Structure 1
Amino acid sequence: MTDGIDQTLSNSIVDHVPDDAPCAQEIGFDMPDRYNASEILFGNLGAGRADKVAIYTAAGNTSYGELCARAAQCGNALRSLGLRRGDRVLLLLNDTASYPATFFGAVRAGFVPMLINTLSPKDLIGFYLQDSAAPVAVVDAEYAALFDRETVAGTQLHTLVMLNGEVAVESPVKVLGGDQWFAQFPCELDAAPTSRDDMAFWMYSSGSTGRPKGIVHLQHDMAYTADSFGRHILGIEESDICFSVPKIFFAYGFGNSITFPFSVGASTILLAGRPEPGAVLDLIERFKPTLFFGLPTLYNALLHHPRIETADLSSVRLSLSAAEVLSQDIFNDWKRRFGLEIVEGLGSTEVLHIYLSNTRERRKTGTAGKRVPGYELRLTTPEGQPVAQGEEGVMWIRGHSNAPCYWNRPDKTAQTMRETGWIWTGDRLVEDADGFFTFVGRVDDLIKVSGQWIYPVEIELCLSDHPAVRECAVLGLELPDRRMTTKAFVILRDGHAASETLTRELQDHVKSKLLPHKYPRLIEYRSELPKTGTGKIDRQKLRSAPLVT
């Protein structure tokens, strides 16, 4: 391993996916030992695409030549701070051209960017800094206030770089105005001599069952997803324009917005801020994407927007969905309005993108699809025994984009990254006679709401800390359109009365203590909760009660 890479990672790579595994042979994946993932972007210069638009945004467009120059300036600037090879760089950025420029600049210079959810509260930011030992953070100015003395205390952060504006920040570390600071550095940068199996970047899990886990991805992982999903499912070409509403810090959005378009010299549309349906429709009509990536919650919101009947999506050749189960109603309504069949898939951050997918030619609504070329999979009992076709089993996945480990979490690594390169997903699925897989649920009761994992017990513990709550239970419930939601059943303490004001207060309490997406969407107040014979809350009886919204 290169200098500066911790021994924790070096040990974990010993049992990574073998080069001769059938998954790599199937798609003809062949990667030299010396490789740097920044070639996904910089390779476009050698292909003669310097003047082609790489990124469309409402604020202006960026060519491949301009993007590579910005990335080189960023990498040179980070090197000037005295970072070592393999040092982590925390990124807390909106989806603008600054994101891929900073990401690829850090990778090209031999550093390891960490893609962080922009909704993360201060407590989590402090945890990310502690866990990663990141000496530098590059953030949009609107998030700079999160890095105050309390957040930074006890971490190794020494420099905060602000992009896209400047604000006054009281921080114990050096604060630099990145846009002007980067501009001082050269627009060319040779790639660090990294190995294909060196760390390239991290993403963090949602932390649904405890503190988030740092998911380590290697230099060759992006190229592998480009060869598997990008080439075999999307059929992406240089002429395509991608628009991913899911953000770059999500693995799904990262592949859609960065990996796939840049790997073939296509273009991408980036939307900063909240993906309001009106803003999404504006960008579609303005920039004419050919590949549109969403999730069921987004498609449902678009279908109910006042402009949907006049919206022009004629440029789109393929609509894709992941992260939640797509209902037949949403599929039918989208097809009725635009003549487009939504292609559904299933993936994970640990695998970096989608490994089960429908296609336009072979699909079954409500299923996650078939195996994506380049991945091996199997279903087993919880004890690891194979299950027969048609029987429910836990999904295992192997492919060269699999993360080799969770950072500094050997217990969780041993639980998930099993055997030789296999990942135990914890997802329960059933395979039918045609090879289509249907998602059934989670082994650990995790549920997905708006594309993000939620652990109901975590919300229960948080609600129980509120002075108005005597007892509560939180369940994941399926809505009529097959989307999942969270509902809290709450018994109040004496002196507190149910009201809309209290409901908002409880929801805000969860948002402030956990990530905002974990708040209970529905709250029902009760005088008692059903109990089993052993005195435990009867969750099955609660789940079978009529859904009151």
Structure 2
Amino acid sequence: MSESFSPELETGAPLEGMEAFESINDIIADACRRFADKPAFSCMGQTLRYRDIDRLSDHFAAWLQRETDLVPGDRIAVQLPNVLQFPVVVFGALKAGLVVVNTNPLYTEREMRHQFSDAGAKAVVVLANMAQKVEKVLDQTEIRHVVVTAMGDLHSWPKRPLINFAVRHVKKLVPVYSLPRAKSLREALAAGGRHRPEPVASRGDDVAVLQYTGGTTGVAKGAMLTHRNLIANMLQTQQLLGDTLDEGAETIIAPLPCYHIYTFTVNCLFAMTTGQHNVLIPNPRDIAGFVKTLSRTPFSVFVGLNTLFNALCQRDDFKALDFSGLKLTISGGMALTQVVAERWRTTTGNGIVEGYGLTETSPIALVNPPASPQIGTIGRPVPGTSVRIVDDEGRSVARGERGELCVKGPQVMKGYWNRPDDTAKTIDEDGWLRTGDMAMVQPDGYVKIVDRKKDMILVSGFNVYPNEIEEVVAGHPDVVEAAAVGVPDEETGEAIKLFVVARNDALDPQVLRQWCKKELTGYKVPKFVELRDELPKSNVGKVLRRELRDESAAPST
């Protein structure tokens, strides 16, 4: 190791403003007071101003406190897409001192059962479209309170009943369910509106959110993100972008799901504290509908990821939009490719600022400076954050050498929920978090990811863990063993390829994909399946996934 090399790469800028807020509730109160009359969130043509968010979240908090037996520290699962109900419910739960468990609305029953049970959730708020799944797993969890909301519940009359009628009876997107003890969100808000919420003195070290991730291993674990963690990351983002954006004047497009930590921090926290207007997109997969929304909405900030940028730039209707007001495009969740970045700049006239982070870092740890981004790197550490690159023995390596990226800062999680052993493997006694990603520091101080130490697969910005897929596939009676790896894919960044040793030579790969669809969310279902006589293994019998990845440059079906 070079003696002149410092084992820590400092940002050179201390984090400012941490002393101003003790909890996220302080941020909500401050933002709603300063920006009361400004638009906060819009969705499907309806807008809630900051004062509306404050009032409605107060009502929900009061209902939780007065009409249920929930107490501060209890966990509430929030299983909502990008609808106006999301910020109301989340901020209301936090005001009541509850811990929010962000839950993917597309989860299968098996995935829901695991997350609800592992978190010990005692309440759930769910969109009616997914309520049938909650019904099926409810008696296998500790959940005592269920709140159901329909898509248009926070829209004004007469649009509200029209939206809900169309979703339920025309599009038939609400399967029949029976939850006789459930409350509708509108009922809860009405009941809560008769009371004032009692202030809860949440402290900085209190857990605010359980954000589930596979971490550096396959089993889904709840990252304990404290009020201090989330406030730090919000302020880090604000400090980085403060010269780029005007307070209370920007319109931010939010197509990525709010239950994902990336959007949760950027749109629900950073944008709130700076008084910005967030436009929530419930279904960005409906690209035509998404572009139509953009055509009616002058916007100045776009938050997305590589695959979405690529899909939009292929469309003539997107290219025809007016991008004259676009100030900033932010990319995260997966690697940004040079070709997509150039395509976006050609289409919009705007460059892309790429960041890097993990659920365990709330999530932003490094980012390209907006004034001098370098495509192909993840930039520099955000304010108040240090990084270092270490070898397999944990020793720091010199600039230009490869090793595992480690991060230390106020945004690093408290630990994994009820998993002290996993926490100790990920965060050392000095507070350094091992990311599992291999990186190097360039001579100019920018950091570049060069490989992935862990086997996690990144599909459209979502973490997929091979162990989970392999466990599901192993349950098929014709499967002897299986291994899942990520392979390059133009649409999703990476796609899942499954290698299977079968008992039955006539086993149809499509049968296995259908088997997976019953147990796994859509993005976790293998796109490619290859039957093999055997899988490559180490001398101790461990399947060599890396060897399979190396062989898979040209996936076969």
TM-score normalised to structure 2 length: 0.86
Alignment partner, residue 352 of structure 2:
342
Which of residues 113, 133, 137 in structure 2 aligns to 1:151? 137
Q: Find the aligned partners of 1:269 and 1:419 in 2 and give their Cα distance.
A: 41
Matched, 1:79 2:65: yes
Please name the residue that 1:179 is paired with: 186
Quick one: which amino acid aligns to residue 44 of structure 2? A
Structure 1 residues 451 and 530: alpha-carbon distance in aligned structure 2, compared to 1, 3 A threshold: same
**One-letter amino acid matched to 2:39:** V
Instruction: Indicate which of 523, 530, 538 corresponds to 2:529.
Output: 523
Match runs of 1:360-371 below 5 Å: 360-371=370-381
Q: Give the corresponding residue for 2:444.
A: 434
Name the residue aligned to 1:226. 234
Distance (whole Å) between structure 2 residues aligned to residue 185 and residue 531 of structure 1: 60
Query: Comparing 390-399 with 216-225, which one deviates more in the overlay?
Result: 216-225
Tell me what 2:148 maps to. 162
Give per-residue Cα distances to partners, 1:253-287, cap 9 Å, x unaligned.
Answer: 11222111101111101112353322332222222
Residue 533 (structure 1) shift: 9.1
Is the CA contact (8 Å cut-off) linking 1:475 and 1:543 kept in structure 2? no
8 Å contact from structure 1 (residues 285, 313) kept in 2:
no
Aligned counterpart, 1:3: none
SS in 2 for 1:460: helix
Over 3 Å counting, the alpha-carbon distance change for 1:46 and 1:544 in structure 2 is same
Shift in Å, 1:308: 3.2
- Is 1:510 the counterpart of 2:519? The answer is no
Deviation at 1:327, TM superposition (A): 1.3
What is the identity, as a one-letter code, of the residue corresponding to 1:514? L
Counterpart residue identity of residue 238, structure 2: G
Identical positions, percent: 26
CA 1:199/1:536 → structure 2, altered by over 3 Å: closer, same or farther?
A: closer
What is the one-letter code of the residue matched to 2:425? Answer: Q
Q: Residue type matched to 1:512 in 2?
A: K
Decide whether the 8 Å contact of 1:477 with 1:485 is kept in 2: yes
Partner of 1:547: 554
- Give 2:367's aligned residue: 357
How much has 1:68 moved relative to structure 2?
A: 0.7
1:75 deviates by: 0.1
Alignment check: 8 A CA contact 2:341 2:351 kept: yes
Following TM superposition, by how much is the alpha carbon of 1:415 offset from its aligned partner in structure 2, in angstroms? Answer: 1.1
CA shift at 1:345, angstroms? Answer: 1.2
Residue of structure 1 equivalent to 2:42: 56
**Cα distance in 1, alignment partners of residues 542 and 141 from structure 2:** 42
Contact 2:33 2:51 in 1 (8 A): no
AA of the residue aligned to 2:520: L
| Secondary structure of residue in 2 paired with 1:91 | strand
1:264 aligns with 2:280: no
Which amino acid in 1 is paired with 2:325? S
Q: Which residue of 2 aligns with 1:12?
A: none
Instruction: Choose 70-79 or 207-216, whichever is displaced more.
Output: 207-216
Deviation at 1:496, TM superposition (A): 2.0
Q: Given the alignment of the two structures, is residue 476 of structure 1 paired with residue 486 of structure 2, yes or no?
A: yes
State the distance in 1 between where 2:220 and 2:353 align. Answer: 30
In the aligned structure 2, how far is the partner of 1:222 from the partner of 1:542?
A: 35
Match of 2:392 among 360, 382, 387: 382
Cα contact 1:441–1:447 (8 A) shared by 2: no
1:136 aligns to 2:147 (yes or no): no
Q: Deviations over 1:165-219 (max 9, x none)?
A: 6976434x72111212312323753531122222222211147844311111212
Cα distance change on mapping 1:184 and 1:418 into 2, 3 Å: same
CA spacing shift, 1:95–1:530, aligned 2, 3 Å? closer
Relative to structure 1, is the Cα distance of residues 100 and 192 closer, same or farther in structure 2, using a 3 angstrom cutoff? same
Unaligned runs of 5+ in 1: 1-21
1:455-488 per-position Cα deviation (integer Å, ceiling 9, x unaligned): 3344334334334545544322234799322222
Rounded Cα–Cα distance in structure 1 between residues aligned with 2:121 and 2:549: 45
Comparing 57-66 with 506-515, greater Cα deviation is found at 506-515
RMSD after superposition? 2.7
How do 1:439-478 and structure 2 match up within 5 A?
Answer: 439-469=449-479, 472-478=482-488
From 99, 102, 112, give the equivalent of 2:89. Answer: 102
Q: How far, CA to CA, are the matches of 1:480 and 1:99 in structure 2?
A: 31
Please, which moves more after superposition, 243-252 or 510-519? Answer: 510-519
Q: Deviation of residue 38 (structure 1)?
A: 2.0
Counterpart of 1:321 in structure 2 is 331
Aligned residue for 1:404? Answer: 414
Count of paired positions: 519
Residue 198 of structure 1 corresponds to which residue in structure 2?
A: 206
TM-score when scaled to structure 1?
Answer: 0.87
CA distance change for structure 1 residues 545 and 98 in 2, over 3 Å: closer, same or farther? Answer: closer
* Cα distance per residue 1:95-125 (max 9 Å; x no partner): 1111111111111121112111112111222
**Displacement, 1:408?**
0.6
Conservation of the 8 A alpha-carbon contact between 2:74 and 2:99? yes
Partner of 1:88 in structure 2?
Answer: 75
Question: Mean Cα displacement is larger for which, 229-238 or 51-60?
Answer: 229-238
Q: CA deviation at 1:132?
A: 2.4
Local SS of the residue matching 2:118:
helix
Structure 1 counterpart of 2:158:
none
1:55-106 Cα distance to aligned partner (Å, 9 max, x none): 1211411111111110000000011212112111111112111111111111
SS of equivalent to 2:360: coil
Deviates more, 1:516-525 or 1:466-475: 466-475
